[in-house]
Chains A and B, each alone.
Chain A
Amino acid sequence: MTINLKTVKHISKLARISLEEKKAEKLANDMNSIFEFIEKLNELKTENVEPLTSIAETTLRFREDKITSDNIREKILKNSPEKNDDFFVVPKVVE
């Protein structure tokens, strides 16, 4: 299987990464060589194998729905690229 330029562009849309034409070609080549290497897994029959999702096979713990941190609103907002009072600002969404 080969990954063509069209697929690369589609994936980059899904991943929300803008891509120049030249870079897209290189990326397609890289991805093809990586997938060639990954295809090896098809040698194995795995119909009856249980997938391993986590090595720590424990049930997740419950905790009380309680705030445990101090009020760090100021500190968090300080990291924002753009803010207005207590709000994060983003480019206009509604037309």
Chain B
Amino acid sequence: MLEIKNLHATVGGKEILKGIDLTVRPGEVHALMGQNGAGKSTLSNVLVGHPAYTVTEGSVTYNGKDLLAMSPEERANEGLFLSFQQPVEIPGVPMNYFMRAAYNAKRKHLGLEPISSGDFVKLMREKRKIVELDSKLTSRSVNEGFSGGEKKRNEIFQMAILEPSFCILDETDSGLDVDALRIVAEGFNQLRKPDTSAIVITHYQRLLDYIKPDVVHVLINGRIVRTGGPELALEIENQGFDWIKNEE
């Protein structure tokens, strides 16, 4: 479903990704671990097409299509979803208005008519329950005045509405207390369909207690230096990253 080959990318002229190879098949969850600055967020930003990142070499194929040739909104409408590490605030734009615009953009992409107001209200109500998001938040401006936990929950809520086929969770666990982490992770699990794939970026094992990865990768200095099963995440939890570095 997603095939990354020899991907190199720069930001501000500095090379961050130095040849990434990664294949994610339908229904698989891959955990991506690594210290700050290893290139985890750069990889997720490159995949969703953030304009600040430049791909200098390599290719990414998504469902047989050249992902890098698509605009960010095309990628989104083709089912690629990023749960942002730091969701941005958009003052004055109500959450429900924003989500309806996004939902209808996807419908338009699929050649469907826009959803009616009534149906959309129902959809919002139904999905809100999954992440236990307060109805007050969906009538407020996008992320404005949301707590850190509310922002993360709001990301998963958006995912629930848009039903993506490929999710990238970029440190969705950071800044969450144990209860919020459980709600977010269980929400994610509930929303996943059998063929939904995901890349889960995290520093810690605790998120992976809820979202079980099929494959775990360790990213150091812009390269994947080790790939293994779920046990690799546990080893890192116990011993940190240094032992891998030392083996390099």
Same complex for A and B? Answer no
